[in-house]
Chains A and B, each alone.
Chain A
Amino acid sequence: MATKEIAGNKVNVNEEGYLLEFNQWNEAIAEAIAKEEGIDELTERHWEVIKYLQKYFEENDAMPSIRKMKKSGAVDTKEFYSLFPGGPLKKSSKIAGLKKPESCI
């Protein structure tokens, strides 16, 4: 565990920069992490996906899979990739202040 200053907030993060405590998260932090991940601006669609993930996490205590995201209707996979290029689930969860999604064994 390490402490990191993001957008003027001191937060606890793991070695990959994922927040360890969701209650330390705020929108300014999200925007700063997004920039680090190469996303210059969080649009309304970005926020809808982030809110969806946070709600999903609260209800299920786990991250959804790409397949679940597709079936949920929250965002189709193609758009998900265009919003968070490279690794949509990994990037969006990091920005949303959630755990890194684990693929089970």
Chain B
Amino acid sequence: MKNLLILGAGTAGTMMANHLNRKLNKKEWKITIVDQHKTHYYQPGFLFIPFDIYKEKDVIKTKKQFIPKGVDYIQEAIELIEHDKNNVILNNGKNLPYDILIIATGSKIVPDEIDGLKGEGWFKDVFDFYTLEGASALRDKLENWKGGKFVVHMAEMPIKCPVAPLEFCFLADWYFTKKGIRDKVEMTYITPLTGAFTKQNCSNVLGYLMDDKKINLVPDFDVELVDEKDNFVQSYDEQKIRYDLLVSIPTNMGDDVIARSGLGDDLNFIPTHKHTLQSKKKENIFVIGDATDVPASKAGSVAHFQAETLTKNIVNFINGKELVKEFDGHANCFIESGFGKAFLIDFNYDVEPVEGTFPLPIVGPFSLLKESRINHMGKLAFKYIYWYMLLRGLPMPGISAQMTKVGKKIK
């Protein structure tokens, strides 16, 4: 028997377990998946928790229920990947030798990377919303907040779900309006980028929206420290921005086990061939989802598209065939813009988000790079698609892994 080992049972790892369980010959291959945590979080849902749109129960299920029968599930932390010995050591000392390794250990926020962020104000008037704890604590804070300087701060790229900080601003604007205190809240968004978003086309549209909603944009801001005694954020060129309530999107990094195993870059992301998803270090190691260093969004939709390419390539690798260079950086993201509306963007490594309709030309039903109610319905419906289709590795009707240019106004 040969061993295929998957590290991480989050969105990407779980999808791969489901895909490969259907594709591999079980008389020859044993599939094992390892994760230290019991709970599977629907991470896109964290965004809605601070505004009490979703409750904790909406975003939590057990990991095991998504792992198919026929795949071994081990709940244990990973100590080391011995890539030169084709072996993984678990925290309990057990060895898991492998023939093929898929790393799907994801990324996480690391507040300690920013001086002073996890200081005396942490979870008092400084919060994150990228963890369930942070999002829930922020909800409790907002419930009784009377207004003041509301600052949202993004530390550095890359981050998981790069549009989430903007969506958070738009939803906060809506929330304060509904509460009748919007005129008592001064909103500011701080970013190290030169505009609201990384992609120029999209940045222009979202920039107008920031103006519209009276959210001050502070670009080109590289954070040096957070002072939680006097409540300000300071940049390296000594701009100071005061806050009464700070919501921070700290540095995102890959898992510590990647650093311990000598497999990552300086943010613990794994150098990966961007079209095949094979690691650059070893031929029998593949990487998927947030754990890679490929220049695509760190998002569930991206992992879903990657999973199709990676499934083909695992099969090709087993059969000694050439890998397909198929993954094109395709991402598809709903952007909540508040007041029951949302945008949808669809892009890849080479083509920026443009206007058009999706997934079908003209009829849509979703409109690209434009605000609409049906886009918002799409975003909410996505929770069900995630739990019942995406994780199980089922195809999405009408949506292919490669980005299509049909129905788009490409310049």
Is A10 part of the binding interface, using a Cβ–Cβ cutoff of 8 Å? no
B237 touches A86 (CB 8 A): yes
Q: Contact check: which of B192, B236, B237, B295 meets A105 at CB < 8 Å? A: B295
> 1/0 per residue B64-96: CB within 8 Å of A?
000000000000000000000000000000000
Q: Contact check: which of B158, B222, B295 meets A66 at CB < 8 Å? A: B222
**CA separation between A71 and B193, bound complex, in Å?**
20
Min C-beta distance of A73 to chain B, whole Å: 13
Chain A, 58-91, CB within 8 A of any chain B CB: 65-68, 71, 77-78, 80-81, 85-88
Q: Which residue of A is nearest B199, CB measured?
A: A105
* Highest count of chain B CB atoms <10 Å: which of A85, A86, A105: A105
Min C-beta distance of B346 to chain A, whole Å: 13
B156 touches A105 (CB 8 A): no
B296 touches A105 (CB 8 A): yes
Q: Which residue of A is nearest B157, CB measured?
A: A103
A77 touches B220 (CB 8 A): no
List residues of chain A with CB within 8 A of the CB of B266: 67-68, 71
Is A104 part of the binding interface, using a Cβ–Cβ cutoff of 8 Å? yes
A104 touches B295 (CB 8 A): yes
**CA separation between A85 and B239, bound complex, in Å?**
12
A104 touches B158 (CB 8 A): yes
Q: Which residue of B is nearest A65, CB measured?
A: B156
B198 touches A104 (CB 8 A): yes
List residues of chain A with CB within 8 A of the CB of B267: 67
B158 touches A105 (CB 8 A): yes
Min C-beta distance of B408 to chain A, whole Å: 18
List residues of chain B with CB within 8 A of the CB of A105: 157-158, 162, 198-199, 295-297, 331
Is B56 part of the binding interface, using a Cβ–Cβ cutoff of 8 Å? no
A104 touches B222 (CB 8 A): no
**CA separation between A81 and B331, bound complex, in Å?**
34
**CA separation between A68 and B293, bound complex, in Å?**
14
Give how many B residues have a beta carbon under 8 Å from the other chain's beta carbons: 19
List residues of chain A with CB within 8 A of the CB of B237: 81, 85-86
List residues of chain A with CB within 8 A of the CB of B331: 105
**CA separation between A86 and B194, bound complex, in Å?**
11
B193 touches A103 (CB 8 A): yes
**CA separation between A80 and B236, bound complex, in Å?**
9
**CA separation between A32 and B28, bound complex, in Å?**
66
List residues of chain B with CB within 8 A of the CB of A86: 220, 237
Q: Contact check: which of B198, B224, B236, B297 meets A103 at CB < 8 Å? A: B198
**CA separation between A66 and B221, bound complex, in Å?**
12
Chain A, 10-42, CB within 8 A of any chain B CB: none
A78 touches B198 (CB 8 A): no
Chain B, 42-79, CB within 8 A of any chain A CB: none
Chain B, 190-206, CB within 8 A of any chain A CB: 192-193, 198-199
**CA separation between A105 and B203, bound complex, in Å?**
12
* Highest count of chain B CB atoms <10 Å: which of A68, A85, A104: A104
List residues of chain A with CB within 8 A of the CB of B156: 65-67
**CA separation between A80 and B237, bound complex, in Å?**
10
Q: Contact check: which of B158, B198, B199, B224 meets A77 at CB < 8 Å? A: B224
List residues of chain A with CB within 8 A of the CB of B295: 104-105
B193 touches A87 (CB 8 A): no
**CA separation between A65 and B158, bound complex, in Å?**
11
List residues of chain B with CB within 8 A of the CB of A66: 156, 192, 222
Given the contacts A67-B267, A68-B266, A81-B236, A103 and B220 also touching, CB distance less than 8 Å: no
**CA separation between A34 and B86, bound complex, in Å?**
51
Identify 4 new A-B residue pairs, CB closer than 8 A, beyond the known A86-B220, A105-B162, A105-B297: A65-B156, A68-B266, A104-B158, A104-B198
3 tightest A-B CB contacts, nearest first: A104-B295, A81-B236, A103-B157
5 contacts between A and B (CB under 8 A): A66-B192, A103-B193, A105-B162, A105-B296, A105-B331
